[in-house]
Every structure is written in C-alpha cells, then in structure tokens.
Structure 1
Amino acid sequence: MTHDHDLVLRPTAAQTEAALDPPPGRIGGDLVVETLAALGATTVFGLPGQHALGVFDALRRSSLRYVGLRVENNAGFAADGYGRITGEAAPLLLSTGPGALTSLAALHEAASASAPVLAISSQIPTAGLGGGRRGYLHELPDQSASFRGVVKSVHTVRSASQIPSAVAAAWTSALTVPHGPVWVEIPQDVLLAETAIPVVTGVDAFPEDLPPRPELTAVAADLLSRATRPAIIAGGGVVRADASGKLRQLAERIDAPVVTTFGGKGAFPWTHPLSLRSWLEDRHTTDFLEDADVLLVIGSGLGELSSNYHTFAPRGRVIQIEADLGKLESNHPGLGIHADARLALQALLETVTRREDPQAPARVRTVLSRVAERIASQGLTLEQALLTSVRRALPADSPSFWDMTILAYWAWSAFDPKAPNTMHSAQGAGGLGYAFPAALGAAAADPTRPVLAVSGDGGALYSIAELATAKQYDLPVTWLIVDDGGYGILREYMTDAFGATTGTELTRPDYVALAESFGVPALSTSPETLEQDLAKALAAPGPSVVVLPALLRMFAPTHLG
C-alpha cells in the first residue's frame, strides 16, 4: 500500500536543467525570496537594515512586490492586515536588534488575533552567536528569546542549506490553525554568502487540518437537538475559517440566536432574525446568554471582552469549539472540542436534528429593544449618528480597520460590518497605532476597493509617518482621524476612577496641513458633513485623510449586575 508521504517527487526536465546550472551571483538572501515565491507569496512588507541587506538585494532579482513602511511596528501591522484579508501568510522582513524588537507590539496583536504573519529577521554574524558578547552592532544575547513568548514558533538558521526548509516550516506553522505570527532569523553572513544551491522551485508547505473528534460532535449535536433555549456565541475563529455560511445554516437548523464577539464581527448577518448582533458589553445580552440551557461557543476563548469583563456566568451546558488548545475550557468548563470552526460546523450540520422554535426571533427582538432603550436613555446621539454616517459612506464590501479609540469601542458593539472579514480592530492585544498601517496592508492585498482606517488623534501619532508609505505606493486608504485633543478613552477612565486626569491631554499637529505636506489630500469635516465628506474621500483614488474634531463619550458599562 502506497501512502502520500512515500511518494518522491521527480524533478521536471526544466527543474533539473536549472538545478545543474544555477544563475551566477546568487546569495543566501536569494534562497529566502525564492522560497517565499515558491510557497506562493506575492507581496512582502518590511524595512531594510544593515544585517538584512542580503535579503533586500535579492528582492531586486525577485518577482515579489515589496511594500516598505517607515517603522517596523507599522510594517508588522501592515502584514497583519494583509494576512487577515487574504488568509495567506504575510512575509515581514526585518533587521537585527532594534529593528526586530520594534515589531514586537505588532506581532503581539497578530498573535492575539490569529493573523498569519511570517517574520524573517536577520541576525549578527554566526561568529557572534552562542551567548558571547562580541560587540556587534544590534547584538542581543539571545534575540529569539524576545519573541518566543509572542509568536507561535521560532525557526533558527545557521547555514544556507537550512533556509528553504526553515521558511517552509514557518509558513506551515503560520497557516496551521490557529493562525498566528512566526519568527525566522538568519545570520548576516549566511544571507550575504554566495551560494551554489539550486534555485528553490520545489518547496511545498501544507498546513495541517484540525478536524473534530466524531464522538465529541455527536454529543454536541445531541445536546443542541434537545435544547429548549440554545444560543450561539461566534468568535473570530468562524471568520478566519471562512465558516460564516455554515454557522448560518446551523443557527437556522436549530433556531438558535447568535451573538458575534468583537473579533467575530461579520460572522453572522447583522439583520438576520436570529442575530443578537455584538452587544457583549450589555447586561441584557449577558443575561440572555446565561439563561441558555445549551450554549455553543465557536471560535472564541471567552476572554475579557467576550465575557463582559469576566462577569458572564452561564448556567446551562457549554459546548466550546476552539482551535487554540490553550483557550479550550480556559474560562468556563464544558464540552471542549479542539477543532477548526469550519470542520466542526460541518460535522454538526451532518449530525444535528432539526429543531424549531417560532419564538426565537421574538426573544431576539426583545433583547435588542432593551439594549436600544438603554443606549437611548444616555443621550449619546452624536456617537450613534457618527457610526451611521460612517456606515453609509463606506461601500458594503470595503474593509475597515479601527484603532483603540472611542468610536471603535462603539463600533465593536454597534457597527454593522455587512460581510465577514471586513471589520478589523486591535482589540486582540489592544495596542495603539494599528488601524492605518493595517489598512495599508489590506489595500496592498486588494487595491480594487477603498479601505477605511479609523483612529483617534492620540493613536494617529503612532503611525503618522506611514502617510509617506500611502503616498509612495498610492494605496486607496481613507484615514478618518477623530480629534478630541488627547487619549479620549483614558480621559474617561481616569475621570471616572480618580476625578482627574494625568497625561491624557496632547499637543498635536494640524493633521490636514500635515497630510497635505506628504502630498495626501486632506480635509476637516463636522458631524453634519461627515457622511458626504467621507464618501467623497473613499470614492477618490489613492490615499486621503478626513479629520473630525469631536469629543465623544462611551456608553455606560453594564457588566455590573
């Protein structure tokens, strides 16, 4: 009996000829870019640096498109945005030491949000490795140690022959569920040394599937079929698995109301009769979910934001389907199923029995009306009107990327994403400066549709340098900057907690004039003209900036019973 892994791929005549007569002048860096191209990469992000010049020189001889950003952390965010939109591993090219370390916050976000980023960093020459202190520029005692607690896997290279296999292994790791960032590091001298290794053409990487165990889905299907008040929490794993269609089929098969987490926006149609939308920071929603006799949690670890700040206490049976083993039953006991969301949903669809509940849509409407009444009682019409304006201005199929700012906090709960994989934010790790560079990465992935980035004025200063990137590559990103003169959400937190603020008020530039100095069209708008101005900016080719001076407030928290 022959197994697939017993087969040996024979080189084609062209491959044999090329292998026996490799082109002259190739170096270790060529092996990096050749391997990426052979794996299917088309676009790479990053910044050059002294130790990484071998890779960047090789890019000249490659078909790969390079998108260079101005700060390594922003390059990481751009790769994150590209990876989320495409579902492909996004290569990120970095230099040693300071350049590498500057990417850590972006890789933290990618890890938290399961975005497939393949970071390839240079290292000091091999003579300086092994824990000594040779005094090389950028030297760290153990550079990879800085990344082991952040990325999925670390891959070290010490010779040219190791490069193709190490990059392929990293690629496989990044795209095996749960997706995430990975780290490869290669010494400077290995990247620069001439090589006679044949051109890389035959490398393959096959991410492993993660199917559910059938005895577990059989029990889950039985519980859901016999439930009297089932409910579903759909997280980002549903979106990443491209399983929103199967989720809808299951919800309709058993008449189960569905809440999407902030990371799972778009996993379920916003206006569907069974949609409880995303009001997770609301006691009415929390009470409804706690009352479910069977709660299916799919693609979510039920972390802080998804559990209404750990106040959520389900009283019924919990079924949790999760690809990240460390998150399985980590917050709530239940029937834990370690699986990819798409494969698990398919298994449930093949096993579950039709269950009808004509009252389910009415119960959903009741919860949503109670949420609406609570929000209406707080006099927050400006914030709701702004979200409505943004939604109307943004084409239905355009992606949006949101920074950690008050309007984004509103959007988590109240914004209709219109489709799966169109709304992304930094709520995984919660760092500032995500929206604009991530939107640039998404625009690089698909320049045929405009992309929206939303930041506050504080977060905007983290990534303002990338206006140069947007202009250089003419990327169709419209950046909405809500200018409230400081770190608005921290201002609220500190005022509520201490009655005063410290460090929240900011001197900031004239964003319109600053954007125009980069050659990027910009304008200042108002709440009344936002929809018109934003729609016009999004419709125009290339990058643009829209500045909205406004002081926004958050809705009152309801995680306290």
Structure 2
Amino acid sequence: MTHDHDVVLRPTAAQTEAALNPPPGRNGGDLVVETLAGLGATTVFGLPGQHALGMFDALRRSSLSYVGFRVENNTGFAADAYGRITGEVAPLLLSTGPGALTSLAALQEAAAGSSPVLAIGSQVPVAGLGGGRHGYLHELRDQQGSFRDVVKSVHTVRTASQIPSAIAAAWESALTAPHGPVWVEIPQDVLLAETTLPVVTAMDATPDEVVPRPELTAVAAELLSRAERPAIIAGGGVVRSDASGKLLALAELVNAPVVTTFGGKGAFPWEHPLSLQSWLEDRHTTDFLEDADVLLVVGSGLGELSSNYHTFKPRGRVIQIEADAGKLESNHPALGIHADARLALSALLETIDAERPDEGAHARVADLLAKVGERIDAQDLTLERQVLAAVREALPDASPSFWDMTILAYWAWSAFDARRPNTMHSAQGAGGLGYGFPAALGAAVADPSHPVLAVSGDGGAMYSIAELATAQQYGLNVTWLIVDDGGYGILREYMSDAFGEASATELARPDFVALAESFGVPGLRTTPETLGDDLAKALAEPGPSVVVLPALLRMFAPTHLG
C-alpha cells in the first residue's frame, strides 16, 4: 500500500547531495532563520541582545527581511499588527531576561486579540538553566514560567537538532484557531555552536481546521429558521477567519440584525439596513439584543465590553460559534459550537434551505439607531463627533487604523465606520497603553501599498516616542495623530466621576511637533476645524508624519447602568 506523501519523504539526488555537503560557517542561529524561511516567513521583527546574537548574525546569511525596533514591547505590538493584517505568523526575535520580559504586555494583547506572534527568545547557556543562581547576565529562575500564563504554548530547545521541530510546533500552535502568540526559547551556546546539520528546507506546519459538528449545525439552523426575532453579535473571530461575506449572506437569509463588537469592527457593512453598528455601550442596543428570541454569537466570548459590562442578560436561545473552546458558554448558557467562524457560517448557509421573511427587522433596526442618535444628540458632544468625522473623512477606505487606549478610540469603538473588514484595530483586548503607533508601523511593514493611521493620546504617545526613529529609518507610511489633552484623559474622567477629583493623571509633555522633527519626521499642529484637511495631506505624503491635535475630548455618558 502506498501513500501520496511517500514521494515527498524520499529525497532527490540533489537534496541528498546538498544535505551531505552543508555550507560551512553555520550555527544554531542559522537553523532558526532557515526554519522560519522554510515555514514561509519573509519578515522578522526584533531587538538584539547579548544571548541572542547568534540569531541576529544568521539574519545576514538569510533571505529574511529584518525590522528592528527600539523597545521590545513596541516590537511585540508591531508583530501583533503584522499578524492581524496578513493572517500569517509574525516572528519576533528577543533576548534573555529583561529583553524578553519587556515584551510581555504586547504578547498579552496578541493573546487577547488572537494574533499569531511567534516569539523566539534566547536563554543563558545550557549549564546555567534551572537554578537561577549561576550569576549569568539576564538570568531568571524560570523564564518559561514568565511566559506560560500569557502565550498559547511554550516550546524549549536544548540541542541544535531540536530547533526546527520546536519552531515548527510553535508555528502550528500560533496558527491553530484561535490564533495566538507562542514562545520558543533557545540557550545562547546552542545558538552559537557550529553545526554540520543540513540546511533546513521547506517545512509543513499547517494546522487542522476547526470544523463544526454537523448535529450542532442542524440544531442551530433549525433555531434560526424558526426564529421570530433573530439577532447576531459578530466578534473579532469573523474578521480573523475572513468570514464577513458569509456573515452578510446569513444575516440576509434569516433577516437578522447584526451588531459588531469592538474587536469585530468592519465585519458587517455599517450602513446596511440590518446593521445595528457597534453601539454596545448603549442600553437601547442591550435591550434589543436581550429581546431576540434566537441570538447567534459568532467569534466572540461576550466579555466585559461586548456585554455592556456584564449587564447583558439574554432571554432567548443563544447559539455561540467560537474557535476558542474555553470561551464557549463562559459567560452565558448557549448551544456552543466549537468551530472556525467561516466554516460554521458556511455550514449554516448550506443547511438553512429557505429565506426567512423580513417581519419588520429593518424597521426595528432603524428605530434602534434613531434612539441611539437621540441619546448622543442630547449630550452636547459636537466637538467629539466633529473630530471623529474628520478622521473618517481623511482616512482612505482601504487604509488600516490602529487606536491606542484614548478617549477618541473609545468613541471610535462605538461610532467609527471601519468600512472594510480588518482595517480597524485597537488594544481593547488587553487594554495596555502604547499600542497604536508601533502597531501601525507593523501594519505598514505588512502592506506598504496603503498609508496607515495611528491614533494616541499624549499619555499613550509617550510609551512609543522612540519608535519615531524606527518609522524614519524604514520610511514607513504611517501618520500618527496625537490628541493632546495634557494627561491621561480617560482616567481623568473615570476618577472625577468616581471620586469627585482626579489625581496622578496630569502630565508634563514635550512639544510633539518639534520632537517629531528632531527625528526627521514631519510634524504639524492642527485644530478641529483643519484636522480633516491636515490628516488627508499627511496620509497622502509617503513616509511617516505626526499630526498633533490639542483638544479636551469627553466621553459620551455610559448607559450600562440604565
């Protein structure tokens, strides 16, 4: 009996000749970069350090393109964005101890946002492992332990021959739904030791797809077919699995209104008559979803933000499609379907055999959006809406945007029309500051054909000022909008509301325009009235730019307490 793969496993004469005569001067670092190239990587992000130099030296002898940042956490944010934009693994090369640990907040965001980041870190020499008392520079008692609570999987190497298999296993883990960051660590002496192993060639680390069980699809299809008031919550899983087209087809088939979570922005057309948009922090939207007799939740765990701060209490049947098995029914009882969003939606489309009549869905959506609009109109938030509208007008539809944790981003979660899937990203998964600008740089590396927008407050901007040097060095097409309100604006609001007064929120800050220009990056100070034109011009110019908007923005009043 023969199998198709038998042919693949038998080396050709040329392969045998190459394997028996590997080029001289290679080390463990070469095995790392050869494996990455063999798996399909073209670009790596990183920041060198003493124990990791074997990997960085090997980059000289490889076809991989290297993009170096100034701070490991920013490097991780860039890799995260590269993974989101391309859907491919983003290799991230790090050093031992402080260098590795500095990336943890970025890897937490990659985990929360399901971004396939492959972090490869060095370690102290093999002789020093396990004790933490050998006195090596950067030594930790248990470096793996620091990552285990953050990443999907941890992979360790102790000999050169283990490098290709460990990286391939990590690669497959990163791409297995749900995507996520993984950690590989390799001791310094293993990276530096000369090797006579053959050059690593093409490797296959393609994960198995997460396919829905047919009996669950049958039940879900029956529920949706019979529903009188169906509704859909579309999360980030719809975007990551490229399932927006399937979602639109299903929503129209069963006439179900759709709300997108903040992580699922762009998953459904904003102006569609079935679109509830993204007003999740609004009691009218929460009431609408609670009233659904069948609620389909696709690619969302219905966490804090997606459930209006856990005030959402569905009264009908819930169907939850989720690639992360741990999120199934984690917040609400449901018919849980462990599956990739695209495959599950495809199965539902094939199973539901008749289009469901409108029965007033379009009118109910229009009524809901009118109520939301009336609530916002009553709050005297003209400046905030003007600023957000100017950003939307200036940004080309195909251009991605990356938003830091700042008041304008909080507005954008609810009110910004992403227009296309996979174009609006924020740090709302883990919620760390400093995400916007370095992530935008990673997106510009992933796709240089479109300008990229980053949005930060002045507080968050200070986390990543150093990366202006990176933007300038690589000529990356990123325009950075910094909304300068003199401090941590959202925390100022939270503290004032909770305690009557804010503390620790006011910040001294630089002249951001002069600072940008000192890096060789064009800078401009704008106003709410000129923001649209100034942003459009900056985005149209190649290379990096900074636009500073001095403005004190306010949040719309929350309604989850209503």
Which TM-score band applies after superposition, normalised by the shorter structure? over 0.9
Whether 1:551 and 2:552 are equivalent positions in the alignment is yes
Deviations 1:156-208 (A, max 9, x none): 00000000000000000000000000000000000000000000003211111
Question: Does structure 1 retain, via aligned residues, the 8 Å contact 2:394–2:536?
Answer: yes
Pair 1:124–1:210, CA change in 2 (3 A): same
Give the SS at the match of 1:144: helix
Question: Does structure 2 retain, via aligned residues, the 8 Å contact 1:401–1:424?
Answer: yes
Pair 1:281–1:39, CA change in 2 (3 A): same
Aligned to 1:416: 417
Separation (CA, whole Å) in 1 of partners of 2:6 and 2:201: 20
| 1:52 alignment partner AA | A
Separation (CA, whole Å) in 1 of partners of 2:424 and 2:348: 27
Separation (CA, whole Å) in 2 of partners of 1:289 and 1:347: 24
Separation (CA, whole Å) in 1 of partners of 2:405 and 2:545: 20
Match runs of 1:193-272 below 5 Å: 193-272=193-272
| 1:175 alignment partner AA | L
Aligned-residue RMSD, C-alpha = 0.9
Give the SS at the match of 2:372: helix
| 1:317 alignment partner AA | R
| 1:519 alignment partner AA | G
Aligned to 2:383: 382
Give the superposition deviation at 1:384.
0.6
Separation (CA, whole Å) in 1 of partners of 2:132 and 2:451: 50
| 1:384 alignment partner AA | R
Give the superposition deviation at 1:498.
0.3
Aligned to 1:154: 154
Deviations 1:342-383 (A, max 9, x none): 110010000013211141111100000100000000000111
| 1:309 alignment partner AA | Y
Aligned to 1:469: 470
Question: Does structure 2 retain, via aligned residues, the 8 Å contact 1:447–1:476?
Answer: yes
Separation (CA, whole Å) in 2 of partners of 1:123 and 1:4: 40
Pair 1:101–1:4, CA change in 2 (3 A): farther
Question: Does structure 1 retain, via aligned residues, the 8 Å contact 2:80–2:117?
Answer: yes
Aligned to 1:406: 407
| 2:525 alignment partner AA | S
Separation (CA, whole Å) in 2 of partners of 1:64 and 1:202: 14
Whether 1:498 and 2:510 are equivalent positions in the alignment is no
Give the SS at the match of 1:560: coil
| 2:53 alignment partner AA | L
| 1:383 alignment partner AA | E
| 1:73 alignment partner AA | N
Aligned to 1:31: 31
Give the superposition deviation at 1:4.
6.0
Separation (CA, whole Å) in 2 of partners of 1:150 and 1:272: 38
TM-score by length of 1: 0.99
Give percent identity, aligned residues only.
Answer: 83
Give the superposition deviation at 1:6.
6.6
Aligned to 1:99: 99
Task: In structure 1, list runs of 5 or more residues that go unmatched.
Answer: none
Runs of 4+ in 1 over 4 A off after TM superposition: 1-8
Aligned to 1:451: 452
Aligned to 2:518: 517
Give the SS at the match of 2:306: helix
Separation (CA, whole Å) in 2 of partners of 1:247 and 1:531: 32
Give the SS at the match of 2:143: coil
Separation (CA, whole Å) in 1 of partners of 2:444 and 2:221: 40
| 1:354 alignment partner AA | E
Aligned to 1:371: 372
Separation (CA, whole Å) in 2 of partners of 1:343 and 1:222: 18
Give the superposition deviation at 1:2.
5.2
Moved more, 347-356 or 291-300: 347-356
Question: Does structure 2 retain, via aligned residues, the 8 Å contact 1:69–1:466?
Answer: yes
Give the superposition deviation at 1:12.
3.1
Give the SS at the match of 1:276: strand
Aligned to 1:316: 316
Deviations 1:49-89 (A, max 9, x none): 00000000000001100000000000000000100000001
Task: In structure 2, list runs of 5 or more residues that go unmatched.
Answer: none
Separation (CA, whole Å) in 1 of partners of 2:14 and 2:40: 19
Give the superposition deviation at 1:18.
1.5
Separation (CA, whole Å) in 2 of partners of 1:560 and 1:2: 66
| 1:381 alignment partner AA | T
Separation (CA, whole Å) in 1 of partners of 2:51 and 2:44: 18
Give the SS at the match of 2:93: strand
Aligned to 2:141: 141
Question: Does structure 2 retain, via aligned residues, the 8 Å contact 1:15–1:201?
Answer: no
Question: Does structure 1 retain, via aligned residues, the 8 Å contact 2:266–2:419?
Answer: yes
Give the superposition deviation at 1:13.
3.3
Question: Does structure 1 retain, via aligned residues, the 8 Å contact 2:323–2:339?
Answer: yes
Give the superposition deviation at 1:10.
2.0
Aligned to 2:49: 49
TM-score by length of 2: 0.99
Aligned to 2:183: 183
Give the superposition deviation at 1:16.
1.9
| 2:443 alignment partner AA | A
Deviations 1:212-243 (A, max 9, x none): 00000100000000000000000000000000
Give the SS at the match of 2:262: coil
Whether 1:89 and 2:122 are equivalent positions in the alignment is no
Aligned to 1:74: 74
Give the SS at the match of 2:185: strand
Separation (CA, whole Å) in 1 of partners of 2:133 and 2:36: 32
| 2:32 alignment partner AA | V
Separation (CA, whole Å) in 1 of partners of 2:517 and 2:130: 49
Aligned to 1:111: 111
| 2:553 alignment partner AA | L
Question: Does structure 1 retain, via aligned residues, the 8 Å contact 2:132–2:140?
Answer: no
Separation (CA, whole Å) in 2 of partners of 1:418 and 1:441: 21
Separation (CA, whole Å) in 1 of partners of 2:65 and 2:18: 23
Pair 1:556–1:132, CA change in 2 (3 A): closer
Aligned to 2:327: 327
Give the superposition deviation at 1:7.
6.5
Question: Does structure 2 retain, via aligned residues, the 8 Å contact 1:403–1:425?
Answer: yes
Match runs of 1:432-447 below 5 Å: 432-447=433-448
Separation (CA, whole Å) in 2 of partners of 1:428 and 1:215: 32
Give the SS at the match of 2:396: coil
Give the superposition deviation at 1:401.
0.2
Moved more, 241-250 or 10-19: 10-19
Separation (CA, whole Å) in 1 of partners of 2:47 and 2:373: 47
Deviations 1:417-460 (A, max 9, x none): 01000000000000000000000000000111100000000000
Pair 1:498–1:4, CA change in 2 (3 A): farther
Pair 1:17–1:270, CA change in 2 (3 A): same
Aligned to 2:285: 285
Moved more, 467-476 or 351-360: 351-360
Separation (CA, whole Å) in 2 of partners of 1:14 and 1:299: 47
Give the superposition deviation at 1:5.
6.7
